[in-house]
Amino acid sequence: MTDTPRILLIGSDGQVGWELRRTLAPVGQVIAASFDGADGPAVDLTDSASLRRLFHETAPDAVVNAAAYTAVDRAETEPELAQAINGDALALMAELCTAPRIPVIHYSTDFVFSGVTDHPYREEDPAEPRSVYGRTKLAGEQALLDSGAPALVLRTAWVYGVRGRNFLLTMLNLFRERTELRIVDDQIGTPTWSRMLAEVSAQITYRIFHGSLDIEQIKGLYHVTGGGATSWFGFAEAIREATGSQCRLTPIPTSEYPAPAPRPAYSVLDTGHFRNTFGLALPDWRQSLALCLADLREQRSPYTP
């Protein structure tokens, strides 16, 4: 492996991608690609020629794909677009990485599961997505894994951070605007800080190029989330308590908050396979939330609680 790997980061402008730009910097030369090309090359994942050109011009030693179509409800009316970005683009990435054995890290989602269970999902549990978003993300997973490419597919859930659109920032805005909120309390999952996800990804990448990890031996599917579990109401309550908001929160069932795309009722992911393979700690979601809120205060972000 090269001493200074060229790491192609696709989706560098998203909430995980933005964190990866910083965490991957000590590992190698980060090439930050995004749709608008604001900080590096531009790439359109709906255009196979654009993606092929990106690989040809950047000649990466590793690829980290943090790009995705994530508009869960809109995907129900834009299935072709969601499939192009979440599924077809991954099939092409697999093709481009398989022969030259370029390591790939890709992120997937708890939406590949139906949520009809009462135990944390393991990697080998049947995937039964109920939404277009979930089906297209599963298609991307399968394209990578079935290709034999040296790929790590990291399924995660309930991602939030200091940038982008996510539950934490939405709550912080609503706490300023409302005196009362009704929050779903019968969907159970695990909030996952985007920085934690970026940090473990960078550690894995470093060990592939500078340590003891052999990508051919560890390639495959892993679950990576924060520790513990809660409901959206529980997550909102923790944010409210940590920020001192006086907004009143009322728990409601999913039936009182209908959405075009069905959500998994229970999507806690078992992270044992990841922890046993890589020996990396995954902090409890409450600990990560506290660190993220502290980061917002330090940045003096417009979302600062």
Q: Which residues contact 57 (CB under 8 A, 6 or more apart)?
A: 41
- Find the radius of gyration of the CA atoms of the chain: 19
pLDDT for residue 187 = 98
pLDDT for residue 299 = 75
pLDDT for residue 303 = 46
pLDDT at residue 39 tops 50: yes
Tell me what the pLDDT averaged over the chain comes to. Answer: 95
pLDDT for residue 211 = 86
Amino acid at 300: R
d(CA 128, CA 131): 9
pLDDT for residue 305 = 52
Which residue, among 115, 122, 85, 72, has the nearest Cα to 225 in the 3D structure? 122
Q: How many domains are there within the chain?
A: 1
The CATH number that applies at residue 122 is 3.40.50.720
pTM over 0.85: yes
* pLDDT higher at 300 or 305: 300
pLDDT at residue 2 tops 80: no
Give tens-digit pLDDT for 71-110.
999 999 999 999 999 999 999 999 999 999 999 999 999 9
Could you tell me the residue range of the domain that residue 112 belongs to?
6-164+192-228+267-283
Residues known to be catalytic: 133
pLDDT for residue 287 = 97
| Residue 51: inside a domain | yes
Adjacent-strand bridge partners of 127: none
Q: For a pLDDT cut of 70, what percent of the chain falls above it?
A: 97
| Residue 289: inside a domain | no
d(CA 5, CA 61): 6
